[in-house]
Amino acid sequence: MVRYILGRLLSAIPTLFLIITISFFLMRVAPGGPFDLERPLEAKVMENLNKMYNLDKSLWEQYIIYMKNVLQGDFGPSFFFRDFSINELFAQSLPISIQLGLSALTLALIVGGIMGVSAAIKQNRGVDYAVMTAATLGVTIPNFVVAPCLTLFLGVYLGWLPVGGWGGGAFVNVILPVVTLALPQIAVIARLTRGSMIEALRSNHVRTARAYGLSGYTIIVVHALRGAILPVVSYMGPAAAALLTGSVVIETIFGIPGIGRYFVQGALNRDYTLVMGTVVVVACFVIIFNLIVDVLYAALDPRVRFD
């Protein structure tokens, strides 16, 4: 297993290299540059700015320079937030996104898991239908609708929770964004758990366990859930990467300084370094989480081998 993990980590290097390279050139294909404004610049000023940010060099040279800096851990200055370097921006916002994402993930796993298991046990009964209806609503209603509705009721009309702002991560400020972020995930996890739990409850080893007269709790948690959780685990890989790298919609609506907004701000403002920064962060999360998922897989299901 250790060898496998090491191998995977090694394979991350060429993967990251390819991701950075492709993104770097893909990004430059889009029209408009970081200094194109509604109000165009003096030619000379533009020239100076381009020189300052090495944009006057050939694309190939820029790529080499960028790669060199990245290897030294320097992601360059931001074009859009000109008072900050990419490293500063991420040092400040990444922890916030991770905190939000992890909270949402935990909430989703617990609530979604419980909902899914109870629905599976009471298949085709009231509980099941209620859970599935709630789950369908959860995935159907987009977060840009849920978030305003929640803030309107709980924030504006009832005044229980703040409508926006991060407030340094105060508990009351975190509730609504976490709930909104978790809702669709709860729905997905509930559905996935229910589906595979139903299968697991019918499988031979659970039947055997029943025949031995084990208690319902032991059967469900120890025997059925262990197998049933597998599809959830493989879903969690990409989902966790997506959650931890923030959500544009949630961050914009709630006014949270996470990294999710940088994806869109970076791209729409042609902030090349910011975009590259987000790409690298996402890539790292994707690679790490997929590795974790594969390791978990092998741990949960002894039949799975990575040879």
Partner 1 sequence: MIKALRTSALAAALIAATSLNAAAEVVYHRGNTADPETLDQHKTSTTYEANILRDLYEGLVAYSAQGKIIPGVAESWNVSEDGKVYTFKLREDAKWSNGDPVVAGDFVYSLRRILMPETGAKYAGVLYPIQNAEAINQGKLGTEELGVKAADDRTLEITLHSPTPYFLDLLGHQTGLPVHPATVEAHGSDFVKPENIVTNGPFVLKSFVPNDTIVAQKNEHYHDAENVKIDKVIFYPTEDRGAALRRFQAGELHTNNDAPVEQVPFMRENLGNQFRVAPYLGTYYYAFNHESDAVGDADVRQALSMVIDREFLADEIWGSTMVPAYSFVPEGIGNYGDPAYADWMDMDLIDREDKAIEILESKGYSESNPLQIEIRYNTSENHKNTAVAVADMWKPLGVEVTLLNTDTKTHYAHLRDRGDFDIARAGWIGDYSDPQNFLFLVESYNSGFNYARYNKPDYDALMQKAAQTVDLEERAVVLKEAETMFMRDLPFLPLMYYGSLSLVSDKVSGFEDNLMNIHPSRWVSIAE
Partner 2 sequence: MSVTSAEQSSAPVMGRSLWDDARDRLLANKAAVASMVVLTVVTLLSIFGPMLSPHQFDTVYRDYVKVPASLESYPRLDQIEPGFESVAKRARMKVESYAMVDDKITATVTSRRSISEKATRYFDRSDLFEGAVISNISADKKSATVTADVQRMHFYFGTDANGRDMMTRTLIAGRVSLTIGLLATFVAITIGLLYGTTSGYFGGKVDLIMMRVVDILYSLPFIFFVIMLVVFFGRNFVLMFIAVGAVEWLDMARIVRGQTLTIKRQEYVQAAEAMGVENTGILKRHVIPNTLGPVVVYMTLLVPKVILLESFLSFLGLGVQEPMTSWGVLISEGAKNLQGAFWMLFFPALFLTSTLFALNFIGDGLRDALDPKDR
Asked whether position 15 contacts partner 2 by CB under 8 A, the answer is yes
Cα–Cα distance between 141 and 136 in angstroms, integer?
Answer: 9
The site string for partner 1 over 159-198 (x = CB under 8 A, - otherwise) reads xxxxxxxx---xxx--x-----------------------
Q: Which does 42 bind (CB under 5 to 8 A by kind): partner 2, partner 1, none?
A: partner 1
Contact with partner 2 (CB under 8 A) among 92, 140, 215, 218: 140
Residue list 242-261, contact with partner 1 (CB under 8 A):
251-258, 261
Q: Backbone phi, then psi, for 68, in 5-degree steps?
A: -60, -45
| Burial category of 14 from C-beta neighbours within 10 Å (exposed 0-12, middle 13-18, buried 19 and up) | exposed
**Residue from 70, 94, 244, 287 binding partner 2 (CB under 8 A):** 287
Residue 81 interacts with which of partner 2, partner 1, none, CB < 5 to 8 Å by class = partner 1
Single-letter amino acid, residue 67: M
Residue 45 binding partner 2, by CB under 8 A: no
Contacts of residue 209, defined as CB under 8 A and 6 or more positions apart, other chains included, come to 218, 219, 223
Regarding 42 and contact with partner 1 (CB under 8 A), the answer is yes
157 in contact with partner 2 (CB under 8 A): no
Minimum distance from residue 132 beta carbon to partner 2 (Å): 7
Q: Which listed range, 4-12, 42-50, 66-74, 104-112, lies at the site for partner 2 (CB under 8 A)? A: 4-12
Number of Cβ within a 10 Å radius of residue 224: 25
Residue whose C-alpha is closest to residue 259's, from 236, 234, 284: 284
Cβ-based nearer residue to partner 1, 120 or 253 = 253
Which positions from 65 to 104 touch partner 2 by CB under 8 A, shown as an x/- string? ----------------------------------------
Closest separation in Å from C-beta 204 to partner 1: 40
Question: Could you say which of partner 1, partner 2, none residue 307 binds, taking C-beta under 5 to 8 angstroms by partner kind?
Answer: partner 2
The residue among 174 and 232 lying less far from partner 1, judged by its C-beta, is 174
Quick check: 141 binds partner 1 (CB under 8 A)?
Answer: no
Please report, as ranges, the residues that interact with partner 1 according to CB under 8 A: 30-33, 35-42, 44-45, 47-49, 52, 80-84, 89, 92-93, 148, 151-152, 155-156, 159-166, 170-172, 175, 251-258, 261, 268-270
